[in-house]
């Protein structure tokens, strides 16, 4: 396997442009085909969400390619969740008891543009825009494209093809339709969709509400969130059922009903959003789904990565971070020095799939947590206890959220197993009185750790038996 090999990457989104940069740094000949115009030259809406929560797994990938110093100026730290109740009262719930653990709001477009520019600095990386992949012949390792400039179709040949073309991947469709091997595929839609709205900047680019938090208006059946942008605005997202409940996307059809809904449930947000009605009717409503599939590769010819392999719902703020981590993990396998792509792809998938399955499940769990649980007294009591553990015993305890978000050196699956066991231990012991908030913190930590280990051991034995 020589570095002169021609690698084709389909899709220059967040994952594809990072992968192109990394493989370019490693010396491969990389061609990237992207269906949209070059976002650095044409003002296109960045796509599915204007800003994203960027955290430690993403940071690790930026460090791998040596551009973290260029990424950080695009970031706004969000120290915790700013919870807004129906009366408009707010409370800031930190993400961690450790001061240095927080997430960042980052512009999707800004980050994608930076990655494209960094990738193109390598002479061996060529990115072509307006080229839509129609299908992939994974046996011949060729892909069929439509060129939006010339209106012609053409076939691109490569030694190996990576598909980073997002949740609607053309390669994944070709695997499925090709029926040449056993390909498992599932797509599960949430009952809720989302719509992006906005809080515009205040005077001179000031922020109309607290800048350094991820704002949440959780209302059990639906929720609103807002993340800050560098220009003083916030991107607001409404998550709401398509067709259930008194208010849903299908029946919010008039200006009056939209205002009535916001007046009733999001009054303090509405006061910051004089532009609400225009945003509501101009912006699309989009579905949210989870994609799982396997295998990700066909022999040593083709590989799915990023959302193309594992699209998840956005409630853990990890889809992009996981897609970036794909590149970090793939790079590790390249370092192992395997002699052929098939082995590399096999090892990568065997290492990685359990973790992307886990973050998919965790993201669904967090949908329920953000909508409602964050408002419940027992959830808050648990969080307060965990904050205190993290503050007082920073090297001994990490909550599930911290394990997933700030512990980039453990996989999502291990974070999920330990995190869930801890949650169960604390909630059970709070419920039966074994754990008393007023007891000494150290003894509470010992009780939680012992009970967590017992649960993990029971789960392990149950897993062996099943
Ligand atoms: P994409 O970003 O979708 O990129 C795919 C690229 O391929 C695009 O450039 C597309 O134009 C191109 N393409 C598609 N089809 C073709 C084709 N046929 N031929 C050629 N090119 C093609 N993640 C987080 O980590 N934090 C968050 O806070 C967060 N919030 C989110 C909020 C919402 C509402 C949504 C929907 C997602 C959110 N995500 C978040 C997830 C994140 O957006 C994705 O996980 C991430 O964009 C995946 O990157 P990707 O490169 O795999 O796919």
pLDDT in tens, 181-238: 999 999 999 999 999 999 999 999 999 999 999 999 999 899 999 999 999 999 999 9
Query: What separation in Å is there between the alpha carbon of 359 and the centre of ligand 1?
Result: 16
Residue 59 lies in a domain: no
Look at residue 377 and tell me whether its pLDDT is greater than 90: no
Residue 17 lies in a domain: no
ipTM of the complex model? 0.99
Question: Which phi and psi (to 5°) does residue 225 adopt?
Answer: -130, 160
The 10 Å Cβ neighbour count of residue 206 is 9
Report pLDDT for 46.
45
Residue 326 lies in a domain: no
Give the ligand 1 atom nearest the CA of 306. 52
Domain boundary at 287, 308, 341, which? 287
Give the ligand 1 atom nearest the CA of 145. 19
Report pLDDT for 314.
95
Report pLDDT for 28.
96
Q: Which residues, in sequence order, are CB contacts of 175 under 8 Å at separation 6+?
A: 138, 181, 183, 185, 293, 298, 304
Domain boundary at 257, 287, 317, which? 287
pLDDT digits (tens, 9 = 90+) for 105-163: 999 999 999 999 999 999 999 999 999 999 999 999 999 999 999 999 999 999 999 99
**Mean pLDDT (the chain, rounded):** 94
Domain that holds residue 410: 376-462
Name the strand (E) or helix (H) holding 424: helix 412-431
- Tell me, yes or no, if the pTM score tops 0.90: yes
Residue 45 lies in a domain: no
Pairing type for strands 285-294 and 184-199 reads antiparallel
DSSP 317: S
Among protein residues, the one with the nearest Cα to ligand 1's atom 46 is: 320
Look at residue 3 and tell me whether its pLDDT is greater than 80: no
Look at residue 410 and tell me whether its pLDDT is greater than 60: yes
Q: Which residues, in sequence order, are CB contacts of 197 under 8 Å at separation 6+?
A: 235, 236, 237, 238, 273, 276, 279, 280, 283
Selection from 280, 244, 243 nearest residue 260 by Cα: 280
Residues in contact with ligand 1 by the CB-under-6-Å rule are 10-16, 33-36, 48-49, 52-53, 132-133, 164-166, 170, 194, 237, 306-308, 314, 317-321, 323
269 vs 466, which has greater pLDDT? 269
Query: What separation in Å is there between the alpha carbon of 54 and the centre of ligand 1?
Result: 14
pLDDT digits (tens, 9 = 90+) for 38-55: 999 988 764 456 899 999
Name the strand (E) or helix (H) holding 7: strand 6-10
Report pLDDT for 47.
44
Query: What separation in Å is there between the alpha carbon of 48 and the centre of ligand 1?
Result: 7
Residue 232 lies in a domain: yes
Query: What separation in Å is there between the alpha carbon of 310 and the centre of ligand 1?
Result: 11
Query: What separation in Å is there between the alpha carbon of 432 and the centre of ligand 1?
Result: 44
- Structural domains of the chain, count: 2
Q: What percent of the chain has pLDDT over 70?
A: 97
Give the mutation target among 9, 16, 78 for probing the ligand 1 site: most ligand atoms within 8 A of CB. 16
Q: CA 181 to CA 41: how far, in whole Å?
A: 41
Question: Which phi and psi (to 5°) does residue 300 adopt?
Answer: -105, 20
Query: What separation in Å is there between the alpha carbon of 317 and the centre of ligand 1?
Result: 12
Residues in the chain, overall count? 466
Give the ligand 1 atom nearest the CA of 307. 52
Residue 312 lies in a domain: no
Residue 380 lies in a domain: yes
Q: Torsion-angle region of residue 168: left (phi > 0), alpha (psi -120 to 50) or beta? A: alpha
Question: Which phi and psi (to 5°) does residue 134 adopt?
Answer: -95, -40
Query: What separation in Å is there between the alpha carbon of 296 and the centre of ligand 1?
Result: 17
Residue 429 lies in a domain: yes
Domain boundary at 254, 287, 320, which? 287
């Amino acid at each position: 396997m020589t570095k002169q090999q021609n690698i084709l990457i389909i899709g220059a989104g967040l994952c594809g442009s990072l992968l192109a940069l990394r493989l370019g740094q490693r010396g491969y000949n990389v061609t990237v085909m992207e269906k949209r115009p070059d976002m650095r030259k044409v003002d296109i809406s960045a796509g599915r969400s204007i800003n994203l929560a960027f955290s430690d797994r993403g940071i690790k990938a930026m460090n791998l390619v040596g551009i973290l110093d260029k990424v950080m100026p695009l970031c706004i730290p969000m120290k915790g969740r700013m919870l807004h109740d129906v009366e408009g009262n707010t409370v800031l719930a930190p993400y961690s008891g450790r001061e240095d653990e927080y997430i960042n709001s980052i512009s999707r477009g800004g980050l994608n543009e930076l990655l494209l520019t960094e990738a193109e600095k390598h002479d061996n990386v060529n990115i072509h825009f307006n080229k839509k992949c129609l299908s992939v012949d994974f046996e011949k390792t060729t892909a069929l494209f439509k060129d939006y400039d010339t209106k012609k179709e053409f076939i691109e040949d490569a030694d190996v093809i990576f598909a980073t073309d997002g949740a609607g991947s053309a390669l994944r469709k070709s695997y499925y339709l090709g029926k040449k091997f056993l390909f498992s595929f599932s797509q599960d839609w949430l009952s809720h969709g989302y719509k992006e709205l906005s809080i515009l900047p205040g005077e001179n680019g000031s922020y109309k509400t607290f800048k350094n938090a991820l704002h949440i208006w959780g209302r059990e059946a639906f929720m609103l969130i807002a993340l800050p942008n560098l220009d003083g605005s916030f991107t607001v997202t409404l998550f709401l059922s398509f067709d259930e409940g008194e208010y849903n996307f299908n029946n919010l059809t008039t200006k009056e009903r939209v205002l009535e809904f916001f007046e009733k449930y999001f009054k303090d947000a509405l006061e910051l959003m004089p532009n609400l009605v225009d945003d509501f009717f101009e912006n699309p409503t989009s579905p949210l789904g989870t994609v799982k599939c396997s295998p990700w590769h066909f022999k040593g010819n083709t590989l799915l990565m990023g959302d193309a392999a594992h699209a998840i719902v956005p409630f853990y703020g990890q889809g992009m971070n996981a897609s970036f981590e794909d590149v970090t993990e793939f790079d590790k396998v390249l370092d192992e020095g395997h002699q052929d792509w098939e082995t590399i792809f096999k090892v990568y998938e065997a290492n990685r799939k359990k973790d992307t399955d886990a973050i998919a499940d965790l993201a669904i769990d967090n949908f329920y947590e953000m909508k409602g649980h964050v408002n419940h007294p027992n959830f808050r009591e648990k969080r307060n206890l965990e904050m205190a553990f993290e503050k007082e015993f920073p090297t001994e305890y990490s909550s599930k959220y911290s394990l997933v978000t700030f512990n980039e050196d453990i996989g999502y699956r291990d974070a999920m197993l330990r995190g869930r066991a801890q949650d169960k231990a604390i909630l059970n012991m709070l419920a039966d009185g074994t754990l008393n908030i007023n007891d000494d913190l150290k003894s509470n930590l010992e009780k939680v750790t012992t009970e967590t280990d017992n649960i993990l051991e029971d789960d392990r034995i149950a897993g062996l038996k099943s």
